[in-house]
Chain A
Amino acid sequence: MKGFLKKSGTTSVLATLISILIGLVAGSVLILIVGIFDNKIGLSGAWDGIRLVFIGLFNTGRDASGVMTFGFNPANFGNMLFRAIPLILTGLSVALAYKTGLFNIGAAGQYLAGIAATLFVALEIPTTVVPAWIVWTLALLAGILAGALWGAIPGLLKAYLNINEVLACIMTNWIAANIVTWLFDLSNLKNVTEGTKTAYIYKTSFNGVETAKLGLDKVFAGSQVNAGILIAILFAIGVYILMTRTTFGFELKACGSNRHAARYAGIRDKQSIVFSMGLAGALAGAAASLYYLSGNPEFFWSTYQSLPAAGFNGIAVALLGACNPIAVIFTGIFMSMLQVIGSQITFLTPFNEYITDVIIAVIVYLSAFSLVIRMWISGRGKKKPVKPAKADAKKEVKA
């Protein structure tokens, strides 16, 4: 038991699980408080909400008498896998940048760049002339390239002009939001055939471009799942190999931990920063491509006032997975599970999907001091020295 708890891998998994648990409990407490103070909702409504927070994935709706029923719900599972695609990829984007010492808060802008490039390619090349699968591939590549270029901008600004990448990313996010709006405003891709849908772009399925389903939609009936999830997992494995098994990955990491030492060792530090941000952008662009190429999502093009949540959720996914590419697969699926639960809560209870955003925020907050949680766990492993360690901590605070 002692040795098991001491392993760094175990402690980070345990720290993650504890963070998740605290996040879920925090969400439940919020629901409970609202239930107590709102007579219309009451304790029974709160109890419904809390059960959904924990096991909403297994919810199968309400029966005739209005009681919630639970069991295996293939649609929920499939949608969870579908929504995990952009989360895993933006998570990888943030994780890769973080491993190389950069905080990529610009995934939202790179995601938007990816959306624009993908939709233009997927909708402008007629599938009557070019086979649909070629258009699909080109659209994915276009999205990745656009994301990479947009991500490289803050990288260049950081490397050559010494601008803090966080600020540069935030500014490029809003610039992307405005440029994308402008581009679609000029384009002829606005959905005008369906009269009720103002300010939406055509789905890529209008041009017959869709990600293959590979029979996954049969396994998870009634859901939107497609092969994109497999591609996302492949990307994660690729990033893992790049970061742990290649010289290039090592150079990026070395540059992240100490830029000056890396330069002394002969690594071109400025180029490394630009490459890191470019790769991070490429992953965020891929996230957008695979999400919109699935054929169903519709893009609200007049987006200059808001940034896509996918970019910021990527931060949560990466931090929760301790920026390990393989762990990001699981935390990405966990976050998408929370999103599925969120829509269940909106449909079935008086509460709404924002409770899951609260839970995610709490988890990110905890991951900011995950080191403390990890130290606390390994402190538990050792039996005797617990008390002196605590006393020391108190002294430190007083001093």
Chain B
Amino acid sequence: MSFLIRETLVYAVPLMIVALAGVFAERSGIINLALEGIMIFGAFIGAFFIYEMQMNEVFVLQSGAANWGTMQMFVLLTMLVAGIAGAIFSLLLAFAAINLKADQTIGGTALNLLAPAFVLFFIRIIANQDDLRMYRGDAASWFMLKKSFFGLKEADGFFVNTFLNKVYITTYVCLLLFVLLSILLYKTKFGLRLRACGENPQAAASLGINVFHMRYAGVIISGFLAGMGGFVYALTTSNCVANGDVAGFGFLALAVMIFGNWKPLNIAGAALLFGLFKCMAASYSTLDLDGNGQYLLLNLSKDPVWGKILNANFYRLLPYLVSLIVLAFTSKKSRAPKAEGIPYDPGKR
């Protein structure tokens, strides 16, 4: 059970934070279809930053001296770097959508094409292959928090095993950011103004709000979160390998956002649901659900009758199928920001 919760969080947290990224952009009136591309870019910059740090032997010294606190600071620093990279990358979308009144769907698609192309072009030149790996070791052993860091033992119970052992600090940083930014968006003056620009920009402008600035703010925050989310994804699920791909997580995050009806609490719930399905797909064969030492799902997949359906292929298909079904049931009620996707024209009423 501890394993299931831990793994679900690993998948749910990037989805959650990237879905919030989508909310910030859409609430300000810009459809950010480029989340996937920004994640890919953030993942690359993050992985490249760690690669360079390792090349310059900064890391080896610290890990040799077992300075795990410093190591965690490195992770935080890399998150910041990846986030800033994402924010800069998202400026391309902001410029096209806000200044040039471009079609936001096409602009986002262009960034989704640009990110993997750009990233793979450089990865091939840097690493002479199609993925950029860490220079040394793997993310799990270098950056995981383990219970021994806190002087705790196996016997210390469920809470310790679930939330303090073999977890990443990124999970907690993202959860904290998620809460803080949700408060920013819903309980502050800035958040109210930002949301006004996504509902009725002309009315907002008539009250002295600068719609251009607000939309830029929305997209930049969105880019920061998506870039950071991309790095978190790469760090926690693929050992910090950047390969110009985040397996559709950016788009899944968009689905989570719509399923969550653009509201943080619903989004958190939706992300956990999808995280659970993703977790099942990735590790169904080692899930011990009832703690009796039997892997129920693995046994099912070996069953001559059930195994025809309930196998690896099925679990990999499940998150996408479920999101489509869930969308089918929720989209009638869904309430998107009114002005999203419409370029702001001050002369219009």
- Tell me whether A365 and B110 are in contact (CB under 8 A): yes
Say whether A164 faces chain B, with CB atoms less than 8 Å apart. yes
- B263 is an interface residue with CB less than 8 A from chain A: no
In the bound assembly, the distance between CA atoms of A38 and B96 in angstroms comes to 32
The reply to whether B109 and A315 form a contact with Cβ atoms under 8 Å apart is yes
- Residue contact B106 to A358, C-beta cutoff 8 Å: no
User: Would you call A350 an interface residue if the criterion is a C-beta within 8 Å of the partner chain's C-beta atoms?
Assistant: yes
Which of A305, A350, A368 contacts B102 (CB under 8 A)?
A368
Instruction: Collect the chain B residues with CB atoms within 8 Å of residue A173's CB.
Output: 248
Tell me what chain B mostly uses at the interface: helix, strand, loop, or mixed: helix
A interface residue count range (under 10 / 10 to 19 / 20 to 34 / 35 or more): 35 or more
With contacts A181-B313, A368-B107, A399-B346 taken as known, whether A358 is within 8 angstroms of B331 at the C-beta atoms is no
- Out of B99, B125, B317, which one reaches A352, CB within 8 Å? B125
A357 proximity list for chain B (CB < 8 A): 113, 116-117, 120-121
Q: Would A178 and B100 be within 8 Å (CB), given that A358-B118, A364-B106, A364-B109 are in contact?
A: no
A350 vs B124: C-alpha distance when bound (angstroms) = 9
Binding stretch for chain B, among A3-11, A61-69, A155-163, A262-270 = A155-163
Instruction: Tell me if B113 and A360 are in contact (CB < 8 A).
Output: yes
Interface residues of B in 241-275 (CB under 8 A from A): 245, 247-248, 251, 254-255, 258
B144 at the interface (CB under 8 A from A): no
Asked if A172 lies at the interface with its beta carbon under 8 angstroms from chain B, I say yes
A34-B125, A354-B117, A397-B212 known; A168 vs B324 contact (CB < 8 Å): yes
Q: Does B113 contact A304, Cβ atoms closer than 8 Å?
A: no
* A365/B96 contact (C-beta < 8 A), A304-B313, A316-B113 known: yes
- Give the shortest distance, in Å, between B116 (CB) and chain A (any CB): 7
Check if A200 is an interface residue, CB within 8 A of chain B.
Answer: no
In contact, A350 and B125 (Cβ under 8 angstroms)? yes
The answer to whether the Cβ of A224 comes within 8 Å of any Cβ in the partner chain is no
Cα-based distance from A162 to B247 in the complex (angstroms): 26
Is B117 within 8 A of A361, CB to CB? Answer: yes
Asked if A361 and B316 sit within 8 Å, CB to CB, the answer is no
Complex Cα spacing A357 to B120, Å: 10
Does B101 reach chain A (CB closer than 8 Å)?
yes
Q: Is the CB of B321 within 8 A of A175?
A: yes
Task: Tell me, rounded to whole Å, the shortest Cβ–Cβ distance linking A53 to chain B.
Answer: 12
Which B residues, 87 to 127, have Cβ-Cβ distances below 8 Å to chain A? 92, 96, 99-107, 109-114, 116-118, 120-121, 124-125
Is B187 part of the contact surface with A, judged by Cβ < 8 Å? no
Provide the bound-state CA to CA distance between A312 and B110, in Å: 10
User: Which residues from B are CB-within-8-Å of A178?
Assistant: 313, 316-317, 320
Contact (Cβ within 8 A) A161 B113: no
Check B332 for interface membership: any CB of A closer than 8 A. yes
Looking at the assembled complex, report how far the CB atom of B347 sits from the nearest CB atom of chain A, in whole angstroms. Answer: 8
Q: Are B125 and A167 in contact (CB under 8 A)?
A: no
- Known: A166-B33, A304-B313, A397-B212. Is A368-B331 also a contact (CB below 8 A)? no
Closest CB in chain A relative to B280 CB, distance in Å = 14
Q: In chain B, residues 204-252, which have Cβ atoms closer than 8 Å to a Cβ of chain A?
A: 212, 245, 247-248, 251
- B317 adjacent to A305 (CB under 8 Å): no
List the A side residues contacting B120 at CB < 8 Å: 352, 354, 357
Q: Which residue of A lies closest to B313 (CB)?
A: A182
User: For residue A360, which residue of chain B has the nearest CB?
Assistant: B113
Q: Are B124 and A352 in contact (CB under 8 A)?
A: yes
Flag whether B65 is at the interface (Cβ < 8 A): no
Asked whether any CB of chain A lies closer than 8 Å to the CB of B328, the reply is yes
Residues on B with C-beta less than 8 A from A157 are: 324, 327-328
Residues A144-172 near B (CB distance < 8 A): 157, 161-164, 166-168, 170-172
Given A396-B346, A399-B346: A179 and B317 within 8 A (CB)? yes
Interface residue? B323 (CB, 8 A): yes
Determine whether A337 belongs to the interface, using a CB cutoff of 8 Å to chain B. Answer: no
CB-based contact A164/B114 at 8 Å = no
Identify the interface centre among A34, A105, A174: most chain B CB within 10 Å of its CB: A174
Instruction: Tell me if B114 and A358 are in contact (CB < 8 A).
Output: yes
Interface positions, chain A 98-155, Cβ under 8 Å from B, are 103, 105
A185 at the interface (CB under 8 A from B): yes
**Contacting residues, chain A, for B346 (C-beta < 8 A):** 396, 399
Question: Does chain B have a CB within 8 A of A355?
Answer: yes
A369:B102 contact, CB within 8 angstroms: yes
A38 to B328, CA, bound (A): 51
> Chain A residues near B121 (CB, 8 Å)?
30, 351-352, 354-355, 357-358
Contact across chains for B258 and A167 when beta carbons are under 8 A apart: yes
Are A175 and B324 in contact, CB atoms less than 8 angstroms apart?
yes
A2 to chain B, nearest CB (A): 26
C-alpha spacing A178/B120, complex, angstroms = 24
Q: Which residues of B contact A105 (CB under 8 A)?
A: 109
Inside 8 A of A350's CB, which chain B residues have their CB?
125
Tell which of A168, A181, A319, A396 touches B327, judged by Cβ atoms closer than 8 Å: A168
Check if A372 is an interface residue, CB within 8 A of chain B.
Answer: yes
Q: In the complex the two chains form, is A166's CB within 8 Å of B313's CB? A: no
Please state if A368 and B96 are interface contacts (CB–CB under 8 Å).
yes
Q: Does A367 contact B (CB under 8 A)?
A: yes
**A residues within 8 Å of B by Cβ?**
30, 34, 38, 103, 105, 157, 161-164, 166-168, 170-175, 178-179, 181-182, 185, 304-306, 312, 315-316, 319, 350-352, 354-355, 357-358, 360-362, 364-365, 367-369, 371-372, 396-397, 399
> What would be 29 A-B contacts, judged by CB atoms less than 8 Å apart?
A38-B125, A157-B324, A168-B327, A171-B320, A171-B323, A175-B317, A178-B313, A182-B317, A304-B313, A315-B109, A351-B121, A352-B121, A354-B117, A355-B121, A357-B113, A361-B114, A361-B117, A362-B110, A362-B114, A364-B110, A365-B96, A368-B96, A368-B107, A369-B102, A369-B107, A372-B102, A396-B346, A397-B99, A397-B212
* 6 cross-chain pairs, A with B, having the tightest CB-CB distances, nearest first: A357-B117, A361-B114, A365-B110, A369-B102, A361-B113, A354-B121
Q: Which residues of B contact A (CB under 8 A)?
A: 33, 92, 96, 99-107, 109-114, 116-118, 120-121, 124-125, 212, 245, 247-248, 251, 254-255, 258, 313-314, 316-317, 320-321, 323-324, 327-328, 331-332, 346
Given A178-B316, A368-B107, A369-B96, 20 more pairs with CB closer than 8 A: A30-B121, A162-B331, A164-B258, A167-B255, A171-B251, A171-B255, A171-B327, A178-B313, A178-B317, A315-B109, A352-B121, A352-B125, A354-B121, A357-B116, A358-B114, A358-B117, A361-B110, A364-B109, A365-B111, A368-B110
